[in-house]
Amino acid sequence: MTLEILTSDMLSGFRHGFFTRRGGASSGVFEGLNCGSGSSDQAEIVAINRARVADAMGVPEPHLVTVHQTHSSDVVEVTGPLSGEKPKADGMVSATPGVALGILTADCQPVLMADTQAHVVGAAHAGWRGARDGILEATVDAMVALGAERERIRAVIGPSISQRAYEVGPELLEDFLADDPDNARFFANGQGDRYQFDLPGFGLSRLRAAGVGDAEWIRHCTYHDPERFYSYRRATHALEADYGRLISVIRV
């Protein structure tokens, strides 16, 4: 099956893509393009999937760089293939031609960024914790350090869990309100004492506050489209033993 790659006109100056699960070699609960080496999928099958992604991006597989994501605000600069243990980070930036930055997600936000004029790119993994702790701002700052200008940066949020699928407890609302009372706008009333959190809306607000020139969410919900996307929350609700990871990539 052919790979399905979602793109955005805002990043048209760079080869990039938000890959769906279609076109992969994995089977079972991982059926499709599972690129998560941290899953319990067969390592050799994940390697085949990653090789297909690298080929689609026009780079050798070692130049498709991913990191050990930990829901942090840490960002690393990538200048080539990584050797040894992957660094712990949730953001990457690069100005090195031939490098492709890959973010793995299964409900969290994959965010791809670019400054066409400076030829600098960034990629971030932003769940609620990382977004709240500043991973998006940190990635923008790291791009600026490489020569990008904030007002020229375009940022695109890929497939993520939507507000109607993202039920959270009152403690999350309380924590967000303690940070900023205006954060109430990202929560809607759910059933009982539960709330529905707008993760992409929160991500967009943080990107715009960071001064990027433009930002958008491509408006695909991972939870509600099982044919195209993996979802940690959907897998949990279905009592499945594990789940696949989507990959989103931007190449310098």
Q: Which amino acid is at 239?
A: L
Mapped onto helix, strand or coil, the DSSP state of residue 99 is coil
* DSSP 8-state assignment for residue 9: G
Tokens of 206: 């943080």
Q: Is the pLDDT of residue 84 over 90?
A: no
pLDDT in tens, 123-160: 999 999 999 999 999 999 999 999 999 999 999 999 99
* CA-to-CA dists, residue 195 to 4, 58, 188, 222, angstroms: 33, 43, 6, 19
Cα maximum dimension of the chain:
52
Confidence of residue 172 (pLDDT cuts 50, 70, 90): very high
Specify the number of domains making up the chain.
1
Q: At 98, which CATH number?
A: 3.60.140.10
Residue 53 within any structural domain of the chain = yes
For β-strands 195-197 and 214-217, DSSP reports them as unpaired
Could you list the residue range(s) of the whole structural domain that residue 114 is in?
5-162+198-251
Residue 43 within any structural domain of the chain = yes
The span from the CA of 16 to the CA of 249, in Å, is: 5
Residue 187 within any structural domain of the chain = no
* DSSP 8-state assignment for residue 136: H
Residue 169 within any structural domain of the chain = no
The span from the CA of 177 to the CA of 102, in Å, is: 32
Residue 158 within any structural domain of the chain = yes
Residue 179 within any structural domain of the chain = no
pLDDT in tens, 92-114: 999 999 999 999 999 999 999 99
Residue 157 within any structural domain of the chain = yes
Residue 172 within any structural domain of the chain = no
